[in-house]
Chain A
Amino acid sequence: MRKLVYMLARLSKIIFIISFMGILSNNCFAQSKTMIKGMVHDENNKPLPFVNLFIQNSSDGTTSGDDGSFKFFTSTQGKINLIASMVGYKKFIQEIDLTKKSNINLDIKLVESSVTMKEMVVSASSYGTDKDKGLIISSLDILTTPGGAADIFQALKTMPGLTQVSESAELYVRGGDPIETITIIDQAPVYHPFTFESSYGGIFSNLNTSVVKSLFFSSGGFSAKYGNALSGVLEVETKNLPQQVRWNVGLSLANGSIAADLPIVENRLGLYFDIRQDFTKPIFWLNGGMDRMVDAPNSENGTGGFVYSYSQNGRLKIFTILAQDKEGVEVQNAEYNGTFNGSSKNFFVNIQNSDIIFNTLVMKNSLSFNRYNTIWQLGVLDLNTTDRIFSFRNDFEFMINNNLKILSGFELENRYIDYEGNIPLLNYDIRPDAGAKYLNSELKSSRAGVYSELQSLNVLGFEGTLLSAGVRYDKFIKPSRNWVDPRLCLGYNINENSKIRFSWGIFHQLPDLALFRPEDGNPNLQAMKTIHYIMSYEYLLNEQNSFRLEAYHKKYYNLPLDDPVINYNNSGFGFADGLDVIYKGDFPFGITGWVSYGYINTKRFWMDFDHYTYSSFDVPNNLSIITKYNLNVNFQLGLNIKYATGKPYTPVISSEYSNQLDIYVPNYSFTNSGRFPDYKRIDLRITYFGQMFTGNSLIVYMEGLNIFNFENIFGYSYTPDYSKQEKIESYFGRRMLVFGLNIGI
């Protein structure tokens, strides 16, 4: 018993000692470890997850959770620098004295860094390569669209709201003429981004995809940033500093190319270029059609950029395009069969500077020059046109807080167009000895534009709302015109995945400068005007899968209309109503791609129209189905199915023989009273993606264009007495087989 008591006494002693040691050690721990905890949120008190919080030059730190809270322990003593870091936000640094402190409670506010140039409010009808620019159309989409020849414009034509009026790459946006859509490269306007321009439009763009960093396209309701455009905007940003040396060589039946990315000084200086020679002879030789070619279309094209990064945010970029093309095609007209000879030369150079000033203001400037010269010859037509554009543009972006941003800027543009040569006096007599009007005129336009726009999220505290309100003022000094265009976009995020938007805006644009020619135009023409109303619903499941439905109404005012006395007046008008729908993403059986459908009803009374009727771009149904299926890691099968209602045209109903002219003179029916057959086309492409040897890439492709050889007509020619119609097919629209390869080093 005594022994037991003794043992118990020993045990209690041991327990006491252990407990004491425990208390001591806890005390020591409490003394050596400091707990740092708190919350991290943005300027609107929204909790920020995934923020890294840490003590500078140590491993003590953590990541904030979904609710923005954080907690970690440190044994560091004395003064420390606590850093909170998150991409897109300014680094937060706070000095804290940890001496004798066991708990630190912090409330950290992160301020968004102005370096991020995201669109805060994406307007309706927007597409872009970045997710912050609208529905995503990636470079991969452009490169792998069958039949698109990796051309930006041809790929964009598969989006809803762009009508299939011809095989050309020109963008017919929601019933608008191609001149109603402006192309901007690094802030500078480019009015002729095409090769092989003729009366059928340019076939391809001369902007090679390999030099593009990002693009943004809007088919309506766009920001006040963009002026002098009635229907659409395509904004292209070219590549910045190349990071590594890359060479790319391509060869196909249609072209040969060489491209390179060449860093000169790491993260400082670099250049890139893409030089291309197009030659269509092999295609026509293989697929037929050479009989129509006197001089098969060929072109040379070089694009390149030189980039100097002079500071962390400051960058100077010189971007240039040099292009020329030539073609000679047999043309059949009722009164004359001859050769259309067309050629063009294009030179564009732009110097762009971008930087952040006063730490908060993003500034971009661009100074550009573009000279475009074209010669068209057919019978009596012999016209030499030179278009020169000088422009300067300045854009500012100022982030007031996370939910409020101001965009502002101004632009100056001088445009000179010289016409020299003969144009036919009568549109039905183009014979070499026919009556002609000699033109020798220089038209000049000078424009200054200024804009300001406010973009806001969670407007007036209403969660999920968004607003973009802007206004721009444009003043043409010569010819003297000015206008004010307000623009508005309201939106609401219904939930994380879906949103609705409403866009409204007034848009002005000066008519084609040719209509201002004193000889056959009216120097007093006013600017054309449209008002856009767009309702949009968008469902974005994730980056890969999205759906968009849009309804729009566009009203046209002040359109130029033929006038027997003053050549043109401004009493033309019109409208375009429509519905656009697109689903882009995954389909069953591992197929990816997109389906887009656009319905449009558009009428106009303008130019030489004899009454208010269907616009020449009224193509009510436009369907594009682009699908890609990966057969295995190396092979991809692509299909591009297109269907569109035939476009309207004005038929000849009879003719009368003219003794004076010694030809038959056609009598036309009412404007656009006829309609071409529906447009149908299926392109198939099989591509091999692999390697030739280690580190190099190899692409080999074979493409069948219009594989079912559907007859697509873009015009009619007539027998000399107009008694019989003959179909005119686009020479790039027939069934064709194209193959080629591309090697990347």
Chain B
Amino acid sequence: MNSVLFRSSILVLTLMFVLSQNEYSQKENFNDLLNSGKTFTYKALVLHDKDMLLEALNQYGKILKADTSNLEALYGLIFVEYRFLELSLQKGNDSLFNQYYQSSLVNAAKLISANKYLSEGKSLLAGIYMMKIASSPMSAVTLSSKINRLLNDAEEANPKNPTTFIVRGEMKYNTPKLFGGSIEDAVNNFNKAVLICEQNPDSTLVDTEWAYLESLAWLGQAYARIDNYDAAKFAYQKALSIQADFSWVKYILLPKIEKKEQN
């Protein structure tokens, strides 16, 4: 009897070990996929590469296929979808926009309802709505109050999430003055994001380096809008000192300023 018990125990322990190893290796695998997703996203944004963005989407998709409750992967997926919206607007590709718009909304709602990453989820949802306004300016009438509310909630949930201030800054930058836009507010929000990235960002989800680069690029644009070329150039050069291959700044924004200065 005792030997049966002993054998059974051995078997159970072995099974548990095998299973835990399997779980461990799955976790390992998830972590690898997550890191790879993050790397692809970062590189895609820096190099403005659509294929890498698709690859990032693929990595996050693999995790979510196996584990639908993986919030880190869900955040990564929404972030990439949000970037696809941006890309589709740059290319004037309506079908690409529509392909990602509904899905990003559903995913963002899922992340918010999980309650763990409220600030990150609400900031991204605000950003997605902002893209919708960019694609269809009249939707500002119905969406701007939603965006303001989401960003206020996001800031309250986590005052050190740089994305909140980047999205708010973009809203202030892109909205006409008559409807509440303000370059001064935009600059202040981008600077807040810069400071958070330089000091102590408090989000395990947000890629601080990218947030830092993006806030600097927007800060430069806001300064350029009011013809403060010295400050704009500083912001761009600072971004390039962090990431020399940042193509948006390197090939578009900085040369534009230099051309204006020459004129």
Contact = CB atoms under 8 A, between A and B. Distances in A.
A634 interface: yes
Contacts of A609: none
Contact of A58 (B142, B146, B226, B234): B234
A86 B228 CA distance: 10
A213 interface: yes
B146 A590 contact: yes
Contacts of A88: 184
A57 interface: yes
A63 B231 CA distance: 11
Nearest to A66: B195
Given A52-B231, A85-B228, A129-B178, A694 B146 contact: no
Interface string A61-78: 111010000000000000
Interface in B73-96: 92, 94
B41 interface: no
A138 B180 contact: yes
A401 interface: no
Contact of B238 (A61, A65, A91, A542): A61
Contact of B138 (A544, A628, A690): A690
A59 to B, nearest CB: 4
Nearest to A213: B178
Interface residues of B, number: 48
B127 to A, nearest CB: 15
A487 to B, nearest CB: 29
A592 B145 CA distance: 8
Nearest to B101: A633
A343 to B, nearest CB: 33
B178 A633 contact: no
A635 B142 contact: yes
A728 interface: no
Interface in A274-308: none
B144 interface: yes
B44 interface: no
A543 interface: yes
Contacts of B149: 544, 586
A139 B178 contact: yes
Contacts of B230: 54, 56-57, 83, 85, 91
B221 interface: no
A87 interface: yes
Nearest to A697: B138
A51 to B, nearest CB: 8
Interface in A633-673: 633-636
B177 A213 contact: yes
A62 B233 contact: no
A178 interface: no
Contacts of A695: 92
A483 interface: no
A186 to B, nearest CB: 15
B69 interface: no
Interface in A399-446: none
A140 B142 CA distance: 10
Contact of B137 (A54, A138, A140, A697): A697
Nearest to A590: B146
B141 A87 contact: no
A543 B180 contact: yes
A690 B136 contact: yes
A279 B143 CA distance: 33
A22 to B, nearest CB: 26
B195 A50 contact: yes
B238 A630 contact: no
Contacts of A543: 148, 180
B167 to A, nearest CB: 15
Nearest to B92: A694
A689 B136 contact: yes
A87 B184 contact: yes
Interface string A185-223: 000000000000000000000000000111000000000
Contacts of B52: none
A63 B237 contact: no
Interface in B145-179: 145-146, 148-149, 152, 177-179
B34 interface: no
A632 B136 CA distance: 14
A744 B219 CA distance: 30
A216 to B, nearest CB: 13
Given A586-B149, A590-B146, A592-B145, A698 B237 contact: no
B125 interface: no
Interface in B55-70: none
29 contacts: A50-B191, A50-B192, A52-B191, A54-B230, A54-B231, A54-B234, A55-B234, A57-B237, A59-B241, A61-B238, A63-B195, A83-B230, A83-B234, A87-B183, A88-B184, A138-B180, A140-B141, A143-B141, A144-B141, A544-B148, A544-B149, A586-B145, A630-B145, A632-B142, A634-B142, A689-B141, A691-B138, A697-B138, A744-B137
Give me the 8 closest cross-chain CB pairs, A-B, nearest first: A59-B237, A689-B138, A59-B241, A50-B191, A54-B234, A630-B142, A697-B138, A87-B184
Given A52-B191, A139-B178, A139-B179, 8 more contacts: A50-B187, A52-B234, A59-B237, A83-B234, A87-B188, A636-B142, A690-B138, A690-B139
